[in-house]
Amino acid sequence: MEEGIEGLRFRQRGRKPQITEEEKKKIVDLYFEVYEGKLNMMHFKETIEEEYGIGYSYESIRKIIVATGLKKVKKRKKEYRQRRMRMPKEGMLVQMDSSYHQWIEDIPEKWYLIAMIDDASGRVYSAKFFEKDTTFNNMEVIKNWIKKKGIFIALYVDKASHFYTTRHGGIHYDLNDEHADTQIQMALEELGIRLITANSPQAKGRIERLFRTFQDRLINELYFRKIKDYESANKFLQKHFIPKYNKKFGLKRIKNAHSPIPNDVNLDLVFTKRYTRRVRNDFTISFLSETIQLPPSKHKLSLRKAYVELRLNSSLQLFIFYHDKLIHTLSLSPSNKKIKQEVFVDSLLKVRSYYDG
């Protein structure tokens, strides 16, 4: 604009200014002293650019660190496996899994990170740390996704006992209970969500790569921010790490296939454990070793011998339905022995399904 047609001519421009020795020393000190050599090179480059305004290229920073001789360079093996193509729209397929890991260095016990990732955009909209990998905890993560984005079309999971019923047995083994859909299956079916089970970890490539990235970056982020408990870790995960992850790794301008939650759907009633009981002659039912007295029903003159549906949520609230109509609500005691036993069996089934492959 200033020089007219002459301004379009190619000119030999000067070289970019080289990094000074003082700046090199600062980069080396940051890598080995401040960040203790824990961060991978790309994570380190992004961190010092964000925290200290040092905006050199990845290759320049890598050469400075490698030149010290203190950093071992690992050769990555080439992956020749062809990856499955992404879905064209967000919400068409969501992958879900849990990772059992020592996420906080000061806490020797391992915890579960249950997470969901969209197959099309690679974005994470729901993830949380839990001490145990239970049905209710998986339900909470699914429910949080739906509250944020809406109802997706299909959920892609492994064959864990929460999602999939393994049908083993023989002529001396009663399979009636095991043939029933799982609690999560029933909740998803009510929302019209299809459940797809993977036959191998490789089939869930996107969620497996997500956990590798989380184990590489999230653990270090928690360490350098001096986060020592999982309550604080969950707050950091939701407010800072996931938005930052989505901004860097998530694809933009992806069409949306999520559908809105219908007005007559209560997610807190959908994501519950469901049971069927028959009403006795004295208008009581037995549930988890407790006798529950039912009030008179407006929908039927007498509930004697009628079958009712019971729905139990994670807060131990029990909702009793007759023909899809709510007729009674109550709270169970946390000291109930049967409930404690169910929690134990739930965690035991997860271990069993892991060793079953």
> Measured between alpha carbons, how far is 35 from 223 in angstroms, rounded to an integer?
10
Element (H, E) at 311: strand 307-312
CATH number of the CATH domain containing 108: 3.30.420.10
Tell me: do 113 and 200 sit in the same domain: yes
Q: Is residue 81 part of a domain?
A: no
- Digits of tens for pLDDT over the chain (357 positions)? 777 877 777 666 655 668 888 888 888 888 888 888 888 888 888 888 888 888 888 888 888 888 887 777 666 665 545 566 889 999 999 999 999 999 998 899 999 999 999 999 999 999 999 999 999 999 999 999 999 999 999 999 987 656 655 544 443 333 344 345 689 999 999 999 999 987 765 567 788 899 999 999 999 999 999 999 999 999 999 999 999 999 999 998 889 999 999 999 999 999 999 999 999 999 999 998 888 999 877 766 678 889 999 999 988 899 999 988 899 999 987 776 666 666 555 554 554 444 444
Q: Is residue 83 part of a domain?
A: no
Q: Is residue 238 part of a domain?
A: yes
Q: Range of 308's domain?
A: 272-337
Tell me: do 293 and 236 sit in the same domain: no
Tell me: do 312 and 172 sit in the same domain: no
Q: Is residue 1 part of a domain?
A: no
Tell me: do 229 and 327 sit in the same domain: no
DSSP symbol at 81: P
pTM: 0.77
Tell me: do 184 and 322 sit in the same domain: no
Say how many CA atoms lie within 13 Å of 286 toward its Cβ.
4
Tell me: do 193 and 222 sit in the same domain: yes
Note whether 157 and 198 are within 8 A (CB): yes
User: Pick from 124, 120, 136, 130: which is nearest to 238 by CA?
Assistant: 124
Q: Is residue 11 part of a domain?
A: no
Element (H, E) at 99: strand 94-101
Q: Is residue 350 part of a domain?
A: no
Q: What is the DSSP string of 56-105?
A: --HHHHHHHHHHTS-SPPPPPPPP-PPPPPPPSEETS-EEEEEEEE--ST
Tell me: do 135 and 229 sit in the same domain: yes
